[in-house]
Structure 1
């Protein structure tokens, strides 16, 4: 069964809806973004989140110390990191029993020490350029960027990821939408 990650969780209302929908993973965005939250907010949200749902921290260039704090406080158990992975980050995350999802836009960026690789189609690459022409890796693959109800089945069939990552397609007017989250989660779990 393919899993689904709903990214950009920001409020207690989001968490209440997430707890009803039961996706496999959720994302707290710590990187600069309209969905960015702070560590204290993330901690409050994690405390209300169903403990069976894995929480992921999304980072772009933050320091290892910032990421370590979220892992140590058990706010997250996976680190979604955009770009080249610093060696001290890999060691720190693994020492704290966390896992690393390395987000790449080019298969030459992939670090063999990452636990997972996420292909990001948000740069206009069209379902992550078919996950770089179905380049199968030793690491399991996540797929993100532009995935919605109308294209998720084909995206999964074409690229065979273990996790589909969605964000804006689960929102209405910039807020998480219970009906959209439920529809996407149900569909992905059937694939």
Structure 2
């Protein structure tokens, strides 16, 4: 079953919308240049209202491990996503207290073998490359790369996903989870109810297909 993280949540209304639609996790961006950035107070105001089994994930870009862990404790994050140029050591230090998602921006020079250095990461997020943005780029990359990267760990697929293509992306990449921000927005930081619900319906249908194929393969 492919899990769903809705990233760039900035308000309770959007959080509730995602929860009610069936999201497994919500992403809170602590990268100030992002149009989806939140303050610790804003994040906590949402996280404290989350129901059981919906996880809060903090997104950080080039923070020190001490700063990441302090924020994670302060707002009670379930996991941390390191979306910058963090070293394997930083990942390992953060992993001592919280599950770590290490993000990579996939450009023409990206090679899945780069993931092997980050042995303490609990999952790897692969995102479309942008010189200007760290996450929420809306840019796709070749999903076959994500499928190839599965040998190194759990893969979270991001970049240019929306209701129109998410089912195909799941079939081609076979990820552990998907991460969507701009693909379900009416504007940066504001989720579109219709697109979000459509996305979750498409994921549900794709998951049913995955289960059906697995059962047929087991016969």
Does the alignment reach a TM-score above 0.5?
A: yes
Q: CA deviation at 1:145?
A: 0.5
Aligned residues: 190
What TM-score does the superposition give when structure 2 sets the normalisation length? 0.78
**Other-structure match for 1:19:** 19
Does residue 182 (structure 1) correspond to residue 197 (structure 2)? The answer is yes
2:170 alignment counterpart: 156
Report 1:17-166 matches (<5 A).
Answer: 17-31=17-31, 32-73=33-74, 75-96=76-97, 98-104=98-104, 105=106, 106=110, 107-110=112-115, 111-123=118-130, 127-132=140-145, 134-135=147-148, 136-166=150-180
CA RMSD of aligned residues (A): 2.2
Q: Paired residue for 2:214? A: none
Q: Say whether the 8 Å CA contact 1:15–1:48 is kept in structure 2.
A: no
The structure having more radius of gyration, on CA atoms, is 2
Cα distance in 1, alignment partners of residues 58 and 158 from structure 2 = 15
Which is worse superposed, 108-117 or 53-62? 108-117
**Higher RCO structure (Cα 8 Å, ≥6 apart):** 1
Does the 8 A contact of 2:95 with 2:120 survive in 1?
no
**Alignment partners' CA distance in 2, 1:58 and 1:101:** 9
Q: What's the CA shift string for 1:115-166, capped at 9, x where partnerless?
A: 1111112449974322427313231100000011111111111111011111
- Displacement after TM superposition at 1:14 (Å): 1.5
Q: Counterparts of 1:62 and 1:46 in 2: how far apart (Å)? A: 21
Q: Retained in 2: the 8 A contact 1:128–1:143?
A: no
Task: Tell me the alpha carbon deviations over residues 90-134 of structure 1, each in whole angstroms, 9 at most, x when there is no partner.
Answer: 3332222x1111111222432222111111124499743224273
Q: Does structure 2 retain, via aligned residues, the 8 Å contact 1:21–1:178?
A: no
- Long gaps (5+) in structure 1: none
Closer, same or farther in 2 for the Cα pair 1:129/1:67, shift >3 Å? same
Contact persistence 1:27–1:58 (CA under 8 A): yes
Q: Which runs of 5+ in 2 are unaligned?
A: 131-136, 207-219
TM-score where L is the length of structure 1: 0.88
